[in-house]
Structure 1
Amino acid sequence: MPVEWEPVRQSRTHELVLRSIEERVFAGELKAGDRLPPERELAPVLGVSRSALREALRVLETIGVLVAQPGRGPDSGARIVRNPDDALGRLLRLHFALGSYSLEDVMEARVVLERSGFEAAVTHARDEDLDEAASLVAAMAAPGIGVTAFNDLDTRFHVQIARCSGNALTSTLTSAVRESVRPLILRALEEAEDWPATAAALNAEHTELLRLVRAGRGAEAADLVERHIRSLHGTLVEDQGVSRK
């Protein structure tokens, strides 16, 4: 059945537009993949200006539940999507930069999430998922790999294992927490006195982590990933002068 749209009050208009759309999502009337009516149609139905409607749509796009395609083709317009990883990572990175969370907060969150993810991956990972993780480890071992490329692959490796856990929320949270400290980790790696040796040491641990998961030794993998995380975050505190709260 077509979605029934109703006018909203004009006070704090864009927030009321958001509420109207949220209510339809919660009621199951709007689902991932559904398209919203064109602005010229939806704005008068809701009883708001097109600028207020656009403001509400921009908020939804920022938090990763809507994508807007300009133009007049079949793919144009606003569409409901499921894309929480990038949005949550961006939000968490900003709050970390603003001091909402300390580096120690982030480290402890990573430890909890990744211990759980590595242990669960032993049970839930498919061979092809672990093969993808292995390809990332191999790419990190490439001769002459730069810091930025290594950091990107490192992030993808940890997120890939989280995806292997079979828990989509664990995967999203792991991605967001790891993403929140990406600039800080990158800066620390760039200041390593011997980058090739640092890269080799880090990737040796990735290799062992993957071996333990493949061997079904989840508890050992969890212990190793905790040491891996705490060691790197300890370096961040020492090298970057980040104070613990």
Structure 2
Amino acid sequence: MASPEIELVPCRSDNYAVLLHDPESHATVLVDAPDSAAIADVLNRRGWRLTDILITHHHHDHVAGLADLKAVSGARAIGPAAEADRIPGLDVTVSGGDSLQVGPYRVEVIATPGHTLGHVAYHLPDQALVFSGDTLFALGCGRLFEGTPEAMWQSLSTLAGLADETAVYCGHEYTLSNARFALTIEPGNAALIKRAEAIAAAREAGRPTIPTTIGLERATNPFLRAGQPAVKAAAGLPNGSDADVFAALRRMKDRA
């Protein structure tokens, strides 16, 4: 199988959609649909026909373009069963632990509640890709709009358990502000300092900071590092459980 061609599509003010195109079968898969016009522009420029749409969760800025894209392309829409009543137009519903074929790709569904109760991530193990929506961000994680800190910590821990080389595509360009927060938690983390410099340079040049990798997140993202003594100390919970430290970090970021 040929490696997929991948296009990161900036949408709205800071959203990302992602297109995967298989040059052999000509299948084209979209992950999330924030803006139909922006996505259609890339499809037209590349000469790709949309065949499948994967939705991570119900928030408007991830589904606003779904109806229009389906109407134009006839693409199959796949999304979380637990949020199907809030995502009109789904053709297939999935839950954590499901595996399905999307074009030539084997897709494993990972339940990642926390940002929303039914949020899912899509893992393509053969391509070493994961689409984490608003659960895991580059150097950050999503706000807890519906779920509990304990659920989000479990979701992040599950994603952190993927292979280090797994490329992570998330739903927003929040990395510069995430880096500033991360440096307040681990100012002595050499890998984080180096990464923050690269992020600042990328954003200054107008380049995206996505994708990241699981390995890089494990080394630098404070929300995956709640078990580290320095992170526990920064959260004011040197003897706290990892889940409690994560919850404290999320509260600190909410106030930042």
TM-score where L is the length of structure 1: 0.23
Normalising to structure 2: TM-score of the pair? 0.22
Instruction: Please say which structure displays the higher CA radius of gyration.
Output: 1
Structure with more strand by fraction:
2
